[in-house]
Amino acid sequence: MIRYIIARYKNKIEIPQLFIIMFLVIMVFVALHLDIPMNWIISDALIRLVMNGVLVLSLVPMLRAGIGINFGLSVGVIAGLIGMCISVNFTIRGLWGLFAGMLFAIPVAVVLGFVYAMILNRVRGKEEITATFVGFSFIPLMNFFWATVPFSNPAMLWPIGGKGMRPVIGLKSYFAKTLNDLWMVNIGGVNIKGISIGGINMGGVSTGGLNVPLGLLLFFFILCLLMALFFKTSFGRATIAVGENEQYASLAGVNIVRVRTVAIILSTIIAAIGICVYAQSYGFLELYDAPLMMAFPAASAILVGGSMGRKTDIVHVILGTFLFQTTYLISGPIANELMVSEVAEIFRLMVTNGIILYALLYEGGIGRNLHGKGSY
């Protein structure tokens, strides 16, 4: 794995990667200097990798099909939120609640993704800006829905009046952290009441040592594997062909509209699953305007991983999310200890948008689109 990454990246380290790796190294040193415990950072970094990784993974099908970054990620996110709301409304608790949420989200994502695909298929070559505004305008439209939807579980509704959803719904008694804690393994810590085999503790309460969320990681890697396998199928190959050269693919008899539609629906479904994983990890369901800007950190993460348009790999997703989220993770406590607490948030915004801007400038404009040269 490591050799594979090195071989891939030997001549490919670009400024964003260099910047973020340097930044990360400096921050790790500062964190060590400030006595922020390293085991805590590593186990939180693993959780955050998956927490955001699925959302980042959802960008892959559209990137590979040559549609570009899915700045309308909120469409898929909203499908996921609807699914989870249904699950909470039926008060399905525990891990099954989470999976039920995903299951309910998928049909919603298929429908929304289909409409979204119809829109994006009309505006070929201008998908990114259109997707941004389709995503933006979908949020206030859904606010109507959240404010009027007749769900009945009082935990989700405004306490006064009992109508309309709360902006933030606590998932503690439903499925918060269920996937996080699934098969959580502790290495090298002191264990009470659990099973301990050769320094590896399972179950019970562990103090110290390193917590590894095996179930969560397994879930993520299975999704990544499924995605990789999808691109090995004949339909997946057709998708890549469309991304590389639409005209050629069309001559080879590929139905471009169909391929693009499936890629967009797939992106939407994975985004819906991604927000389910995110929400269970975060412990809260955030409705209304919360998903508005979610696309940008995800886009930034995949770009840090080394994705350049169509040439996007699963490795980019994993590496990019890990680097990006770990810098986020460490910058928080460091900013709190050193100076003003807002710095972390400002830095996040700056890094997020700086990386996207760099990627846009690096890729350039002309030649990216096969048609409509230089004019509207």
Partner 1 sequence: MNIVPLVFLILSATAFWFSEMSLTFVLNEVITRFIRDGVMVLALIIPITAGMGINFSITVGALCAQVAMILAVDFQIPGFKGLLFIASIGGTLSIIMGTLIGLALNRVKNREMITTMIIGFFTTSIYQLIFMVGYGTLITPNNKEIMLSRGIGIRNMIDLELYRNLIDRIWFFTLGEIDIPLFMIFFVCGFGLMVKYSTITRVGKEFRVISESHEKATQLGIDVNIVRIKAIVASTVIACIGHYIYVQNIGMLNVYSAHTNTDIFSCAALLAGGATIARAKVSHSFLGIFLFHSLFVVSPQAGQNLFGNPALGEYFRSFVAYGTIAFALIMNYRNKRLE
Binding region for partner 1 (CB under 8 A) out of 142-150, 190-198, 211-219, 324-332: 142-150
| Contact between residue 186 and residue 210 where contact means Cβ atoms under 8 Å apart | yes
| Contact between residue 258 and residue 246 where contact means Cβ atoms under 8 Å apart | no
DSSP string, 334-354: HHHHHS-THHHHHHHHHHHHH
37 scored as a contact of partner 1 (CB under 8 A): no
Beta bridge partners of 168: 286
Name the minimum Å distance from CB 319 to partner 1: 22
134 scored as a contact of partner 1 (CB under 8 A): yes
Contact residue for partner 1 among 150, 154, 253, 364 (CB under 8 A): 364
Contact residue for partner 1 among 34, 111, 129, 190 (CB under 8 A): 129
How far apart CA 263 and CA 257 sit, in angstroms, is: 10
How far apart CA 267 and CA 30 sit, in angstroms, is: 38
Binding region for partner 1 (CB under 8 A) out of 132-140, 279-287, 306-314, 322-330: 132-140
Contact residue for partner 1 among 1, 144, 152, 253 (CB under 8 A): 144
Q: Considering just the CA atoms, what is the radius of gyration of the chain in Å?
A: 21
Nearer to partner 1, 72 or 101 (CB): 72
How far apart CA 49 and CA 59 sit, in angstroms, is: 15
Contact residue for partner 1 among 143, 153, 196, 245 (CB under 8 A): 143
How far apart CA 139 and CA 128 sit, in angstroms, is: 17
How far apart CA 215 and CA 179 sit, in angstroms, is: 7
Nearer to partner 1, 38 or 129 (CB): 129
128 scored as a contact of partner 1 (CB under 8 A): yes
**Which residues here bind partner 1, judged by CB under 8 A?**
71, 119, 122-126, 128-130, 132-134, 136-137, 139-141, 143-144, 147-148, 164, 246-247, 256, 296, 339-340, 342-343, 346-347, 349-350, 352-354, 356-357, 360-361, 363-366, 368-376
